[in-house]
Amino acid sequence: MGTALVGPALVFVLAINVMPAFYGFYLSLRRVFFFGDEGFVGLQNYTALLSDPLAWEAIGRSLVFSFGALAVAVPLALLSAMGIRRLGRWGMVLLTVVLVPWAMSPIVVALLWKWILVPSPGGLMGSLFSALGYPPRDLLTDPVLAMPTLIAIAVWRNFAFATIILAGGLGQIPNDLYRAASVDGLHAWESFRRITLPLLMPSLLIVVSMLTISYFNEVQVIIGLTAGGPIRSTTTLAYQLYHTGFVELDQGRGNAIAIVMFLINMLLIAIYIRILGRQPGGAT
């Protein structure tokens, strides 16, 4: 009976996720341009990718983008989650505000921030620069500032997910532990370090893993804001996949990039499980 109930869902998962993944790996072993299949080439697409210095630069930018966003998003989400738990009913108002960017389409986010960052008096950032007595500056065309700007936008858009998960994790910690800590004379920071953080490790593992996948695979906001520029300063591996597969129409090499991205994601998550899973209260 159970098999009959689970069967349709299992077939759906196989059809939507597993079969396309295997087909993508199959295409990565062939030379395919648009719909023209020129035959089997083995690992040639992978060797061409891994011998390309631009690909390694794109991997480095992807890691900078992902870890830079994580370094900001996780502490910010934790502070927001703690604020939501402490504010009670008003915390729901804060949660609603936090959820707005997460509910928006990535392309809408890109268009919104493109208007905000317009370096003229018509844009919010341009008006702010003018009010402070500085000439308007286009952050998206500055090779140094474009990546930090994208990181800030990515954090603004996605940290709500982390906030929800961490707020739920905080709700599972018994208040009796904090009362006992107070009786023992532990200060707020010591209570956080010895009680909150260890017991929040399973939630943190989920948050860090999911945000890493989201940030490492982010492409829509990059397409909408910088298109990989200026001077390739925001060309991540995800954007290179988009450009190779959908602009140059090299499906073979594009699928090879996708497989490499999958392996990097899995490696990072395995590292997280190894580190966070061994902490007190972490997953085993």
Domain ranges of the chain: 53-276
Stated pTM of the model: 0.88
pLDDT at position 256 is 95
Percentage of the chain lying above the pLDDT 70 cut: 96
The mean pLDDT value for 104-111 works out to 88
Distance, in Å, from the CA atom of 133 to the CA atom of 131, rounded to the nearest integer, reads 5
pLDDT of residue 215: 95
Taking the C-alpha atoms of residue 67 and residue 199, their distance in angstroms, rounded to an integer, is 23
Tally the residues of the chain.
284
Higher pLDDT, 225 or 103: 225
Tell me the per-residue pLDDT of 131-170, one tens digit each, with 9 for 90 and over. Answer: 777 777 788 888 999 999 999 999 999 888 899 899 888 8
Residue 235 has pLDDT above 90, yes or no: yes
Of the candidate CATH numbers 3.90.25.10, 3.40.190.10, 1.10.3720.10, 1.10.260.40, the domain formed by 53-276 belongs to 1.10.3720.10
Segment 67-83 shows an average pLDDT of 92
What does the DSSP assignment read for 20-35? HHHHHHHHHTEEEETT
The pLDDT of residue 284 is 43
> What distances in angstroms separate CA 83 from CA 88, 176, 204, 207, one per listed residue?
9, 19, 17, 18
| Phi/psi at 283 (5° precision) | -70, 155
Of 266, 15, 234, 247, nearest to 143 by C-alpha is 234
- Distance in angstroms (rounded) separating the CA atoms of residues 219 and 238: 6
